[in-house]
A and B are shown apart, each in its own frame.
Chain A
Amino acid sequence: MINASRQLSRRRFLGNFAFASAAIAAGPGSWVIRPDWANAAEGPIRLGIATDLTGSLGFAGNTDANVARMLVKEVNDSGGLLGRPIELLIEDTASDESVAVGNVRKLIQRDKVDLVLGGISSSMRNAIKDVIISRGKTLYIYPEGYEGKECTPYLFCTGPVPAQNCDQFIPWLIKNGGKRFALPGSNYVWPQTINAYARKVIESSGGEVIFEEYYPLDQIDFSSTVSRIISNKVDVVFNAIVPPGVSPFFKQLYQAGFSKNGGRLGCVYYDENFLEMNQAHEIEGLASSLDYYKVLAAEDPVSARIQSAYDKQFPAKFRFSAGSAATGTYRGLKLWEAAVKEAGTIDRDAVAAALDHAKIAEGPGGPAEMAPGKRHCRMNMYIGVAKGGQYEIVARSAGLVDPKEC
């Protein structure tokens, strides 16, 4: 009796196993958005987006995927690129590097895309860049603002870097805050690199760094830091602590009376998404330095057009903002489109050569152009101050700011 039932379940088990492995081998479809029309001769141009659709960076990744959808539809509706439609393939990097590598391999080896755009955190970029560039021999565009120093060939960065965040911002902070700076940051590469650059600018602008300190990412109690800031009479806190620690830090700083006594908070990456993390009065007067703010729509018709097109197509949950690499994605795809048009082909080296000096006249926040030979992007930078839970633009760069990388 027992024998029979065991044999039955064994057969069933092996059968299920075989079915599952067959399904895996066949490769079920991932997220593909096929164009409405086709170019019979050459087939579509394949664009791969590898971004965090799930996991802790999901709020940013979904925004970037939406921007890609919006742009691809625009391009396809106006005749495609080089007469060919663009096919969009989206893979989830899941805020997890080991999953990401597997999924990006699908884009490269199975789907054979002509370009990969994506990655949000620097560790994600590091994880997938080899798969794309060296093993996959494909172009890679990285859209998020980061710490700089990425000079790999065929890797183009379209987000702001420390020079762009700091060069205009720090003098403004000194004028509108004071000379004594504190540099608290989360303990990883971006805060350390941007603080190193910020320190140079602070000191050459006549300011003084009182202390620089780093904390584990999930530290939530900052009493010792706040105490040091108050007792050392720091004027400006140039914050590089990231979520989840940033919200309790700002709250504790406020409760200790920092802004009430005239202190100024500066945090370069703080966009509209982050404004929700604290109560409005806790971050009143906070200044950030980004390449785009939503309120720009009031003064720049191009930004207004882009913002409203996005808002119409996509639900309010995933906002078009600078911190989620949405602006970098827009810029990156538009610059690539211009480069492909100039090169006249989709061949990697030709496109890379054209992308090296590509320019666009219309982008969120203004025009943009790649700095030749540097693979980084020049863009307009703005300084926004939080007032009553909204941003107000208090300074604009006098033209495109140079990234000063590589």
Chain B
Amino acid sequence: MDTLLIATFEILSFGAIVVLVVLGLGIIASMMGIFNFAQGEFVLLGAYVTYLVHSVGLPVPLGMLAAPIAVGALGFVLEKLVVRRFYTAPVVAMLGTYALGLIIREAVRGLTGGLYLSVPEPISGSITIGSLHFATWRGVIVIITLLVMAASHALLAYTSFGLRVRASLENPSLARASGISTGMIYSVTFAFGAALAGLAGALIVPVFSLFADLGIRFLIQGFVAVMVGGLGSFAGPVAGASVIGTFSAWLPWLMSPVIADVLVFVLAIIFIKFRPQGLVSGRGVNR
């Protein structure tokens, strides 16, 4: 029973991390129809900004606040300069964002000197209930993820800005004709997706260390999660990320981790094959 509780907590917290990373990816994919191959590197940037703030002596929570803002701003700029040229050719978008990701990754590698760097947790220690230890910081990650998700959903569902975003998502030409500035909406959405990734990076850097190849791991996991979850809605990427994150954390308890690692992806592909629209099918971006 003890093991079950600990396992559930660990699996939940890992799933939360994957959700944060994938949420941004899913929103960008649903909205603009492109897969952002640089999303992993946005996570890396969020982690790096947090480390930078820490290394000049400022408190870590400040870094965690600065990271999504900085990465979001960068995402905004990149969208305006580079990404918006790719909307007509999603395949070229994948490769263009891959090139962007390569540049960011190598730049960070140069800046960190190729080393693995550590950042302390803002709230360390563990909560002890009976004989079980639950790492406090991982619990905080779960709480923050839930809050962010709730806030995003509220933003989309209950504000006029969210209304405009949803309109652009469902019918871009009609939205433009109605006077909604879709260009600005896209920029803000991309920035939002980037900011989410930056936040994820900031939150997880105390758990794993900072190193240049941090983002690569999330790339494939992210894509599979988005496809499993389904495009065109908010709940889709969340569902997909939860499923993938949970399975990735849960299977190693049952079998050799090497096999578990591959099995998750293989199962996901088989699932998508037989249910191409994913778990949650939304109206998506149909042009």
Check A-B contact in the complex, CB < 8 A. yes
Chain A interface (Cβ within 8 Å of chain B)? Answer: 54-59, 187, 213-216, 218-221, 223-224, 227, 231, 243-244, 247-248, 251-252, 255-257, 273-274, 276-279, 317-318
| A247 pairs with B208, CB closer than 8 A | yes
A252 to B10 Cα, complex, angstroms: 10
| B258 pairs with A59, CB closer than 8 A | no
| B257 pairs with A214, CB closer than 8 A | yes
Closest CB in chain B relative to A261 CB, distance in Å: 11
The 13 sampled A-B contact pairs (Cβ below 8 Å) are: A56-B109, A56-B114, A215-B257, A218-B216, A221-B248, A221-B252, A223-B11, A227-B3, A227-B7, A244-B214, A247-B208, A256-B133, A273-B115
Closest CB in chain B relative to A314 CB, distance in Å: 13
Candidates B3, B117, B257; contact of A216 at CB < 8 Å: B257
User: Known contacts A54-B109, A231-B3, A248-B208; can you find 18 more A-B pairs with CB under 8 A?
Assistant: A56-B109, A56-B211, A56-B213, A58-B109, A215-B257, A216-B261, A220-B217, A221-B14, A221-B248, A223-B11, A243-B209, A243-B211, A244-B208, A247-B116, A248-B209, A256-B133, A276-B115, A317-B113
**Which A residues lie within 8 Å of B113 (CB)?**
58-59, 317-318
**Which A residues lie within 8 Å of B115 (CB)?**
59, 273, 276
A244 to B211 Cα, complex, angstroms: 8
**Which B residues lie within 8 Å of A318 (CB)?**
113
A121 to B91 Cα, complex, angstroms: 35
Type the 1/0 row for B120-139, where 1 means its CB is closer than 8 Å to any CB of A: 10000010000001010000
| A244 pairs with B116, CB closer than 8 A | yes
| B257 pairs with A223, CB closer than 8 A | no
**Which B residues lie within 8 Å of A56 (CB)?**
109, 114, 211-213
Candidates B11, B135, B261; contact of A252 at CB < 8 Å: B135
| B249 pairs with A59, CB closer than 8 A | no
A35 to B280 Cα, complex, angstroms: 68
CB-nearest residue of chain A to B216: A218
Type the 1/0 row for B215-259, where 1 means its CB is closer than 8 Å to any CB of A: 011000000000000000000000000000000110011001110
| A219 pairs with B3, CB closer than 8 A | no
Type the 1/0 row for B6-37, where 1 means its CB is closer than 8 Å to any CB of A: 11001100100000000000000000000000
Number of interface residues of B (CB under 8 A): 34
Closest CB in chain A relative to B224 CB, distance in Å: 15
B107 contacts the other chain (CB 8 A): no
A54 to B211 Cα, complex, angstroms: 14
| B116 pairs with A224, CB closer than 8 A | no
Closest CB in chain A relative to B17 CB, distance in Å: 9
B155 contacts the other chain (CB 8 A): no
**Which B residues lie within 8 Å of A252 (CB)?**
135
Q: Which 9 pairs, one residue from A and one from B, show the smallest C-beta to C-beta distance?
A: A223-B10, A58-B114, A247-B209, A224-B253, A215-B257, A255-B135, A59-B114, A277-B116, A218-B217
| A223 pairs with B114, CB closer than 8 A | no
**Contacts known (A216-B257, A277-B209); A223 close to B116, Cβ less than 8 A:** no
**Which A residues lie within 8 Å of B261 (CB)?**
216, 219
**Which A residues lie within 8 Å of B248 (CB)?**
221
A59 to B252 Cα, complex, angstroms: 32
- For window 258-284 of B, CB contacts with A under 8 Å fall at 258, 261
| B256 pairs with A279, CB closer than 8 A | no
| A276 pairs with B208, CB closer than 8 A | no
**Contacts known (A221-B249, A277-B209); A255 close to B126, Cβ less than 8 A:** yes
| B120 pairs with A279, CB closer than 8 A | yes
Candidates A223, A251, A276; contact of B117 at CB < 8 Å: A276
Closest CB in chain A relative to B220 CB, distance in Å: 11
**Which B residues lie within 8 Å of A57 (CB)?**
114
Candidates B7, B133, B208, B212; contact of A220 at CB < 8 Å: B208
| B114 pairs with A227, CB closer than 8 A | no
**Which A residues lie within 8 Å of B211 (CB)?**
56, 243-244
Candidates B7, B212, B258; contact of A215 at CB < 8 Å: B258
CB-nearest residue of chain A to B138: A255
**Which A residues lie within 8 Å of B133 (CB)?**
255-257
- For window 77-128 of B, CB contacts with A under 8 Å fall at 109, 113-118, 120, 126
B207 contacts the other chain (CB 8 A): yes
**Contacts known (A216-B258, A255-B126); A224 close to B213, Cβ less than 8 A:** no
Candidates B11, B213, B256, B257; contact of A244 at CB < 8 Å: B213
Closest CB in chain B relative to A8 CB, distance in Å: 25
A318 to B113 Cα, complex, angstroms: 9
**Which B residues lie within 8 Å of A187 (CB)?**
257-258
Candidates B118, B213, B249; contact of A247 at CB < 8 Å: B118
